[in-house]
Amino acid sequence: MSEGTDLQLKTIHGPENLTLALSGDKMLTIGRRPEHDLILASGATVSRDHAFLTPHQVGKSRKWTLQDNGSRHGTTLNGVRLEPNRGVSIRAGDLIVIEPFTFQVVDPHQKRNLTQTIDDSLHATGASIRRIEKTQGGGLAHEKLRALLTCSREIHEAGSEVAMAAAVAEAAAAATAFGNVAIVKPAGSEGMVEVLATKGRIVNDGVPNISRSLLDAALEGEPVRFQRTEVVDDQAQSIMQYSIEEALCVPIMLGHAVAGCIYLDNRDGQLQGQHVMDDVEFCTGLAEITALAMSNLMRVDIERRHAEERQGLLLGTVGALVAAIDAKDTYTQGHSVRVAWLSKTLAEAVGVQVTTLEEIHICGLVHDIGKIGIPEAILRKAGKLTDDEYDRIKQHPVIGEKILAGVPQLCTVLPGVRSHHERWDGRGYPDGTKEKDTPFFGRLLGVADAFDAMCSSRAYREGLDRGEVLEEVQKCSGSQFDPELVEVFLTLDFSEYDQMIAKHTSQNPL
């Protein structure tokens, strides 16, 4: 299932149990007014027009963007307060807080490491689970404090949520008297959690076994504890069918939202003893460290999403410019797309860094944008160009550079746009640079542009045979083209390029 398709918002904490299906092509609104798609009438801190969700079609998938509508009390995504009127894409697993509600974004089709918790609510009495004040138990022992400081480095250095959870589970198992640990997060469905990491014997017959009542209590935002000796109902067997003697569950808080829990227990008669409060304090500190690390990861993730959205807007603009070129000169339809592919493929083959490949691809897409400033009569002329007409054509690299100079995100591609008609021997245009004085992007595009021009049909001639084209490229090595690039270019696999030629030809038969 494509990301962002058939998502749902499900309440995991709040005065009402609400669900909003993210479907259709219209904007969905959130607030206190009765006309909203998600009505939060019982929330005094909810604005009348609090936030909205907007769908965007990206390829074959639909993505949704969440935007706070300048609400008084704000909207948080994964513990990060959203800037008013600035949208950010949402994904499955996200936590959205609109006080007093906490929603989770759920994709019913997404495969995750989910498990059903033990349903002990029908049998366990109120005496089986206790809330624990965080201030109880005195100060941490020196050895536990050292352990907390040691593990905090590993937790903060983790580059992903799963790696961070593994470090937390390792620390909790090593520094407490509990033998079994699980790091879990809400899954948006009743009784279901996503298991991020485990230690010890949490897993039984391939399935993690965790008390639902304990987790439900911890999801209220306070550490909770279970002890077998406190069970007074003879029917309270479901939590003990796995011989759980005692258990502790500490929430991981992102702001006011419970982002996950540290669950610990002992089984098969291995009682912890009298130092449970030391472990409570240790795990409370561990949860706070984890929350800080998780918040940092979330902030980085949200900035990454903003960057992806900006990149998407940029590529959309580039696509519109390419379409404008194709509309002006239908004989070269698809030329820019093919040159972009050839340039990027050649760059990859010569070992260019991944971060630069996308810039080269964009440079290939926009390299002929300056043709917008050339009269169509010249671009589509079937006969030989006059000297004046050829001089006009030769202006398009400079025109293209001027057009794109006002787009800051495209500053790195400007040298390639200007120099893609320069030659290795210095007889090109517009500047007559030679050899490696010509920018690298320009030398790449020079080979790709000429190759595609020879392969494809134009108003004044049919496309040449592939063998002839490669022979011509080889012949011009060291005069028109960078010889090092030609050597690599001749080894490329052109099968995908041939498919592109066939597709573009069928779309615009001459």
Residue 68 has pLDDT above 90, yes or no: yes
- Domain co-membership, 357 together with 396: yes
Residue 2 has pLDDT above 60, yes or no: no
- The pLDDT of residue 139 is 54
Mean pLDDT, residues 15-32 taken together: 92
Task: Read off the tokens for 66.
Answer: 């969440």
User: Do the domain assignments include residue 450?
Assistant: yes
The 10 Å Cβ neighbour count of residue 66 is 21
Spatial CB neighbours of 273, under 8 Å, sequence gap ≥ 6: 177
Mean pLDDT, residues 167-172 taken together: 92
**Cα–Cα distance for residue pair 14/95, rounded to 1 Å:** 13
User: Do the domain assignments include residue 321?
Assistant: no
- Full residue range of the structural domain in which residue 139 is found: 114-297
pLDDT tens-digit profile of 323-355? 888 777 666 678 999 999 999 999 999 999 888
- Domain co-membership, 256 together with 141: yes
**Cα–Cα distance for residue pair 24/44, rounded to 1 Å:** 29
The count of domains in the chain is: 3
Residue 140 confidence class, pLDDT cut points 50, 70, 90: low
Residue 493 has pLDDT above 90, yes or no: yes
CA atoms within 13 A on the CB side of 320: 5
Spatial CB neighbours of 48, under 8 Å, sequence gap ≥ 6: 31, 32, 33
Asked if residues 268 and 246 have their Cβ atoms less than 8 Å apart, the reply is: no
The 10 Å Cβ neighbour count of residue 97 is 22
- Domain co-membership, 79 together with 227: no
pLDDT tens-digit profile of 262-278? 999 888 765 555 566 78
Asked if residues 450 and 477 have their Cβ atoms less than 8 Å apart, the reply is: no
pLDDT tens-digit profile of 371-403? 999 998 888 887 889 999 999 999 999 999 999
The 10 Å Cβ neighbour count of residue 468 is 12
- The pLDDT of residue 270 is 58
Q: Which of 73, 106, 139 is the last residue of a domain?
A: 106
The residue among 300 and 112 whose pLDDT is bigger is: 300
Largest separation between any pair of C-alpha atoms in the chain: 101
pLDDT tens-digit profile of 196-234? 999 988 877 667 778 777 888 888 888 998 876 554 444
Residue 438 has pLDDT above 90, yes or no: yes
User: Do the domain assignments include residue 306?
Assistant: no
- Domain co-membership, 94 together with 118: no
Q: Which of 56, 82, 106 is the last residue of a domain?
A: 106
- Domain co-membership, 269 together with 123: yes
DSSP labels for 214-240? Answer: HHHHHTTTS-EEEEGGG---TTTTTTT
Residue 11 confidence class, pLDDT cut points 50, 70, 90: very high
- Domain co-membership, 200 together with 348: no
Nearest CA to 417 among 449, 379, 456? 449
Degrees (nearest 5) of the Cα angle 264, 270, 271?
75
Spatial CB neighbours of 424, under 8 Å, sequence gap ≥ 6: 434, 435, 438, 443, 478, 479, 480, 481, 482, 483
- Domain co-membership, 425 together with 477: yes
